[in-house]
A and B are shown apart, each in its own frame.
Chain A
Amino acid sequence: MRGSLSGTLATMGPGVPYLIGAKFAYPDRPGIALVGDGAMQMNGMAELITAAKYYPEWSDPRLVVAVLNNHDLNQVTWEMRAMQGAPQFEDSQAIPDVRYADVAALFGLGGVRVERPEDVAPAWRQALAADRPFVIDFRTDPAVPPIPPHATWDQIKASASSVLHGDSDRGDVVRQGLKAKLQDFLPGGAG
């Protein structure tokens, strides 16, 4: 199993094109791209057309694009909260919902939208059994905080500050934050 990402440049949006390049290197192997919805809107959506154009010639046509669709450019949102104590600036951070599975279907590809936890596993099974590239549109929660293994005092202060200063997601952030940190102390479960 191989995996990669844009490590040092850390540019948005290489997911789908990386995977297309990888499919030309290994047309007999399935591939999966995990893509934020920001990156999907920036690059991934249009490049689905390239996947649609070329998949018939790959001996294994499976190319799964899993979109983490939370209507937010969430990495920057969290950085602003944790590093600057700034609440979410919706004008720059909020992005529209797009029905990525429907877009995939328009391009002749497979797709399904997932909105409930019980639909997650069946969606993966469907995507990995497909005879063509497949988009899974996972509706995910932007209020789940990416808690580091050891939050520094400055980060905790800043995050709390952003919540106190009227972050639009503050109720959800507090609830999800407590859940996430508790999980850190529980023995590894099925998650």
Chain B
Amino acid sequence: MRTMKVADYVLQRLREWDVEHVFAYPGDGINGLLAAWGRAKDAPRFVQARHEEMAAFEAVGYAKFSGRTGVCAATSGPGAIHLLNGLYDAKLDHVPVVAIVGQTDRSAMGGSYQQEVDLLSLYKDVASEFCEMVTVPEQLPNVLDRALRIAATRRTVTAVIIPADVQELDHEAPAHAFKQVPSSLGVGRYAPVPADEELQRAAEILNSGERPAILVGQGARQARAEVEQVAEVLGAGVAKALLGKDALPDTLPYVTGSIGLLGTRPSYEMMRDCDTLLVIGSSFPYTQFLPEFGQARAVQIDIDPTMVGLRYPFELNIVGDAAETLRRLLPLLWRGTGTGPGATASRPAPNAGGRSWSGGPAWPPTRSTPNTWPTSWTGCCRRTRSSRRTPVRRPTGTPGTCGCVTACAVRSPEPWRRWARGCRT
């Protein structure tokens, strides 16, 4: 059997991990890998960007839209430096991306050499969960397996640095021996769930409110059906942080839209007036748009124990996968009354009278709320609950908001005519 070089083995292992695309840019720090790509008939596929930063962004976009781990590659020195901005984008948005970068030959290291940059130091922060350099062939597949596995399970950026001369060495698999570290493929699907008593506590809080509000982020995207059911059972409105904008459609009557400086009026009013708050899979940082301290009893559900409990004085922080947690929570919730969408006839809570709606403005505030329409000029001057969507900054691939954004920016028809039409209906 012909021995393969380290570079060939790297590509083979990527194929074994079902990596189909590597977004990359060439350079002599990865000449070994490039030659291996030729021998491998371009599998995985080498997708050539114009700039390494774009290669990293392409890996991020690939990962964000596919749910898979993105892989990018660049040469030593300037190539590796260029990847950084895209990698930080992945890290800060919790997206799994692996960077494979070249390095000068081991013999030249420390020689202030051409394109020699201290990559272990440079990548130490962005790839803080895993950043390793391969110096002998027997470190593979372990180093690469860990990079891929940690990126996927910790939803973060990892880096594998391979000096150019190491890429050309014959690959030797780790042996069944001391100080050799074999490794294995894959990791089984898993989803953390909170303990039963935490679910009971969450239900008690959420059942106690009359005006519940929900905030979802990207962590709720895989739990869309469960979020809808919880919102309907509670009679809650749902606001969406930017990364969660596609978690639920704006066409649902209880979805108030985006939140914050670039958010909607209904979201603002919901957070201003709610008495219970459930945050699912979001680390929305602008606390000034969440309820006043002490106004609402709040629960947070997040999969990441290092991120839960931030941003707001939550009464209860639960660590768990959104869908699995909400599925277990639903049977413990009971339907509220009220005039908002999704409300039905009440049934008594386990240890209290039925939740009743005290009247006043309908809940949650949305465009379908009956008292949205101003009935007079004074009604117009008071606050209303229109749900015009405000354009989203630096959006990408959000077809639902295209027309809104361009219509708002290109001169729109005189508002007076539209007001007159509204008065006549």
Q: Which A positions have Cβ atoms within 8 angstroms of B?
A: 1-22, 24-26, 31-36, 39, 43, 46-47, 49-50, 53-54, 66, 68, 70, 75, 114, 116-117, 120, 124, 138-141, 144, 146-150, 179-180, 182-191
Q: Report the bound CA distance from A1 to B381 in whole Å.
A: 37
How far, in Å, is B252 (CB) from chain A's closest CB? 14
Q: What are 11 A-to-B residue pairs whose CB atoms are below 8 Å?
A: A4-B397, A5-B392, A14-B61, A21-B62, A32-B397, A33-B397, A75-B393, A124-B403, A141-B411, A149-B268, A187-B373
B-side contacts of A147, CB under 8 Å? 390
Which residues of B, 330-378, contact A by the 8 Å Cβ criterion? Answer: 367, 372-374
Q: Report the bound CA distance from A24 to B372 in whole Å.
A: 44
Q: Report whether B411 and A117 are in contact in the complex, using a CB–CB cutoff of 8 Å.
A: yes
Taking A6-B93, A43-B51, A124-B403 as known contacts, 7 extra A-B pairs with beta carbons closer than 8 A to each other, sorted by chain A number, are: A1-B399, A4-B65, A21-B60, A32-B399, A66-B406, A75-B394, A184-B386
Q: Report whether B86 and A21 are in contact in the complex, using a CB–CB cutoff of 8 Å.
A: no
Among residues of B, the one whose C-beta sits closest to the C-beta of A24 is B21
A-side contacts of B397, CB under 8 Å? 2-4, 15, 18-19, 22, 31-34
Give the residue of A11, A46, A138, A191 whose beta carbon is less than 8 angstroms from that of B412.
Answer: A191
How far, in Å, is A94 (CB) from chain B's closest CB? 17
B-side contacts of A68, CB under 8 Å? 405-406, 409
Which residues of B, 261-304, contact A by the 8 Å Cβ criterion? Answer: 261-265, 267-268, 283
Q: Report whether A18 and B398 are in contact in the complex, using a CB–CB cutoff of 8 Å.
A: no
A-side contacts of B390, CB under 8 Å? 146-149
Contact of A191 with B408 at beta-carbon distance under 8 Å, contacts A9-B89, A17-B61, A185-B380 already known: yes
Q: Report whether B398 and A3 are in contact in the complex, using a CB–CB cutoff of 8 Å.
A: yes
A-side contacts of B249, CB under 8 Å? 1
Q: Is B64 an interface residue (CB 8 A)?
A: yes
* Chain A at the B interface: SS class: mixed
Q: Which stretch, B191-199, B310-318, B415-423, touches the partner chain A?
A: B415-423
A-side contacts of B64, CB under 8 Å? 4, 18, 21-22
Contact of A19 with B396 at beta-carbon distance under 8 Å, contacts A25-B62, A120-B407, A140-B406 already known: yes
Q: Report whether A14 and B399 are in contact in the complex, using a CB–CB cutoff of 8 Å.
A: no
Q: Is B384 an interface residue (CB 8 A)?
A: yes
How far, in Å, is B347 (CB) from chain A's closest CB? 34
B-side contacts of A54, CB under 8 Å? 47
How far, in Å, is A2 (CB) from chain B's closest CB? 5
Q: Which B positions have Cβ atoms within 8 angstroms of A?
A: 21, 23, 45, 47-51, 53-55, 57-66, 68, 70, 85-86, 88-89, 92-93, 218, 241-243, 245-246, 249, 260-265, 267-268, 283, 367, 372-374, 380-381, 384, 386-388, 390-412, 415, 418-419, 421-422, 425
Contact of A26 with B65 at beta-carbon distance under 8 Å, contacts A21-B23, A141-B409 already known: yes
Q: Report the bound CA distance from A32 to B397 in whole Å.
A: 4
A-side contacts of B66, CB under 8 Å? 22, 25-26
A-side contacts of B57, CB under 8 Å? 13-14, 17-18, 21, 43
How far, in Å, is B378 (CB) from chain A's closest CB? 12
A-side contacts of B405, CB under 8 Å? 34, 68
B-side contacts of A120, CB under 8 Å? 403, 406-407, 410
B-side contacts of A8, CB under 8 Å? 92-93, 243, 283
Q: Report the bound CA distance from A142 to B89 in whole Å.
A: 27
Q: Report the bound CA distance from A149 to B267 in whole Å.
A: 9
B-side contacts of A26, CB under 8 Å? 65-66
Q: Report whether A47 and B409 are in contact in the complex, using a CB–CB cutoff of 8 Å.
A: no
How far, in Å, is B304 (CB) from chain A's closest CB? 13
How far, in Å, is B239 (CB) from chain A's closest CB? 11
Q: Report the bound CA distance from A156 to B40 in whole Å.
A: 61
How far, in Å, is B348 (CB) from chain A's closest CB? 37
Q: Report whether A50 and B48 are in contact in the complex, using a CB–CB cutoff of 8 Å.
A: yes
Interface centre among B21, B58, B367, B374 (most CB of A within 10 A): B58
Give the residue of A11, A149, A184 whose beta carbon is less than 8 angstroms from that of B89.
Answer: A11
Q: Report whether B402 and A34 are in contact in the complex, using a CB–CB cutoff of 8 Å.
A: yes
B-side contacts of A10, CB under 8 Å? 393-394
Interface centre among A3, A116, A179 (most CB of B within 10 A): A3
Q: Report the bound CA distance from A39 to B45 in whole Å.
A: 27
A-side contacts of B241, CB under 8 Å? 7
5 A-B pairs with the lowest CB-CB distances in the bound complex, closest first: A21-B61, A18-B61, A3-B398, A21-B62, A17-B57
Q: Report whether A70 and B267 are in contact in the complex, using a CB–CB cutoff of 8 Å.
A: no
Among residues of B, the one whose C-beta sits closest to the C-beta of A119 is B410
A-side contacts of B391, CB under 8 Å? 146
Among residues of B, the one whose C-beta sits closest to the C-beta of A117 is B410
Give the residue of B85, B265, B408 whose beta carbon is less than 8 angstroms from that of A144.
Answer: B408
Interface centre among B48, B49, B391 (most CB of A within 10 A): B49
Among residues of B, the one whose C-beta sits closest to the C-beta of A181 is B415
Give the residue of A19, A141, A149 whose beta carbon is less than 8 angstroms from that of B410.
Answer: A141
Interface centre among B89, B400, B404 (most CB of A within 10 A): B89
